[in-house]
Chains A and B, each alone.
Chain A
Amino acid sequence: MEQKDYDVILDSLAPTKSRLEVLFRQAGDGFIQVEYGREQRADLLDSFRIGTVNANLLEKKIPGLIETVPGIRTNLFHFEPEILRPQDLIQAIKEEEHAVVDVEDIELESRVIHLPIAFEDSETKKAVAKYVKEARPDAPNVINGYNLEYIAMCNGVSADEVKKILLGTEWYNSGCGFWPGGGFFWPMDPRCAIVVPKYNPPRIWTPEGSVGIGGPCVFTYTTATGGGYQLFGRTIPTFQFSQKHPLFKETPFLYRNGDRIKFHEVSEAEILNIYAHVHEKTDYSYEIEEGKIQIKEYMNFVQSEAVVKGAEEFRKKQAKGAMEAPKL
């Protein structure tokens, strides 16, 4: 049998005081993934740094570079390999990595978007029922016809506590993707860092506005689509293809990279009423605050005694829960 080459790390940068090792991974003809470190971690500092390096690189307007897709700990580079050689692209990325300032000095533009949510509403319940019927009748993540109990079990808390956690922190968008207008949201408060496995196999259908979590990340489904996240309930539209509502006049997207969202609980009737006021009457008023994140200030919060202690206690419960919850 011919020996196949499965080594995909094309190049790397050794770690420094201010960042992790940087790996350049082959991801196809015309794709390179830049990864921070080898460990799976969700550290907002990585995301702040990736966002900064990414913005500086895009200003260079490198010929043959089609686009970049930054995430919490990776950045995907999509390019035309007949025009731009992988080694030349890697060289350009390395230069920006060397040049970037210490991430703690950054002040980020970041809005806060307030979103109502109805927990365990009837539309997202339909998606769970359809999954059980068509994809996995014995799905261990479906308890009493829904995912909330399973999310709770995985984190060693009750379903009510899970709701409080979702409502109790701002969630930071490390970058848009997955689906038109979708953002990936991470808890700003480490005491709210719930983690769950994703559906196995994934769902074929999820309704517009579903709020879910997969791994450590919250997502609001912008239109009906498939997906693998455990569901909490339903929020209001966060995307409008028709661009009829004044908020969506310029682009169909609500979310920008670096936004924060904050949930508050309402009834299902209220959510449905808002849908009508966004999509039909187009007079719903979104609650959006302009703002900034001072990284230094945020670091002080994360490193404060109360937060460190609280997060540690939560992790203990979580470790116990993760051991007891069935795998998917």
Chain B
Amino acid sequence: MLNIINGGIETIVEDWPGRLGYLGKGMAASGALDNVSLGFANLLVGNPTGEAGLEIAGGYFEATFTEDAVMAITGTDMKPTLNGDPVDMWTSIMVHKGDHLKFFHFGKTGFRSYLGVAGGFDVPKYLNSKSTCIFGNYGGFKGRKLAPGDLLAFGQPSSPLAGLAGRKLKKDYMPEYENEWQIRAMPGPNTCPEYVTKEGMDYLFENSFKIQHTSNRSAYRLDELTDGFFARTDGGVGGSHPSNIVDHAYSIRGALNICGNTPIILIGDGPTLGGYFCALHVINADLWKIGQGTPTRDYIRFIHCTEQEAVEARIQQKNLLSENALA
């Protein structure tokens, strides 16, 4: 088991693709905000790529192992140490009973680290997923972030531990981290001419937007919009602000919701429905970049993308997360 000494800023159990199929019950998919890092952590320790791992946001997580295990750390470099010595990331490592794992804070690029263990984390599935919905307080480990004294059990490893240690990710499979994230997005469902001016849509695709400090697992809030964005003066019976609309379902994860004058990317734990329109949609294969975007420091730049390119990117990402990635 993993015995939590310090839960850090926010450490939670997440899997992938999360809790699919409950948008109509008002339940977001949740899931790892960076599914690529979670996928590699799992791959390294011999798990299915969607198995539950720990998502460590911000940093300062600390725990001891109460049994031998194989672990892998991916994501942003939080200068993790094992018994005080630096420990390699993107590599599977044998750990022993009593070993002490400690993370510093997020690195110069990226915001979330992932910890995978052979066998995954053994928490009960709720509605077919082990993912935590932190804002709804359900799923994962007791529906909350980890706290000192929590004990997390491991599942059954896919093969004997000794054979799972020492696996490394090939260099060219390593995701590239930035401080200005290039994120592919498809226009829709609400664009020009009815909702946004042509200039407004261009503005979304031709500027970079700072990630606001109010961002969290349900919403990444960006810089306010410029004048001339809206193609309407009000939302009719949807409300008096031009961003208002008669309530509709949000295409989460990935919708760019125009909430008053604030563009907000709705992600993991986001609302499933609401009364603001959505101008574009971050493609599934680039959602992970949002998860690594650091509030108050990083920027997001949207890159125009077609449906066909988005589907190809999904297939490429699936191929990336395979045994071929291991050295």
Contacts and interface: CB of A to CB of B under 8 A. Distances in A.
Interface of A: 1, 4-8, 25-31, 33, 35, 38-42, 66-76, 78, 81-82, 86, 154, 175-182, 184, 195-202, 204, 214-217, 222-223, 225-226, 228, 241, 253, 322, 325, 327-328
B238 interface: yes
B22 interface: yes
A81 B310 contact: yes
Interface residues of B, number: 71
A146 B235 CA distance: 24
A70 B25 CA distance: 11
B26 A180 contact: yes
Given A178-B271, A178-B273, A328-B260, A217 B247 contact: yes
A204 to B, nearest CB: 7
A196 B189 contact: no
What DSSP secondary structure best describes chain B's contact surface? mixed
Given A72-B247, A74-B249, A76-B248, A29 B137 contact: no
Contacts of B327: none
Contact of B189 (A26, A178, A180, A328): A26
A327 B240 contact: yes
A176 B27 CA distance: 10
Given A8-B187, A71-B273, 4 more contacts: A66-B20, A76-B248, A184-B247, A200-B261
9 closest A-B pairs by beta carbon, nearest first, are A28-B281, A177-B273, A200-B260, A8-B188, A69-B249, A29-B310, A40-B236, A76-B249, A31-B251
B237 A195 contact: yes
A215 B239 contact: yes
B275 interface: yes
A70 B186 CA distance: 22
A29 B23 contact: no
Interface of B: 20-27, 133, 135-138, 143, 186-192, 194, 196, 198, 201-202, 205-206, 214, 218-219, 235-241, 243-251, 254-255, 259-262, 271-276, 278, 281-284, 304, 306-307, 310-311, 314-315
A67 B254 contact: no
A179 B23 CA distance: 9
Given A26-B307, A42-B237, A328-B241, A178 B26 contact: yes
Contacts of A199: 260
Given A30-B284, A215-B239, A327-B241, A182 B26 contact: yes
B251 A215 contact: no
Contact of B274 (A178, A195, A200): A178
B241 A33 contact: no
Nearest to A222: B26
B246 A215 contact: yes
Given A29-B186, A178-B274, A204 B214 contact: yes
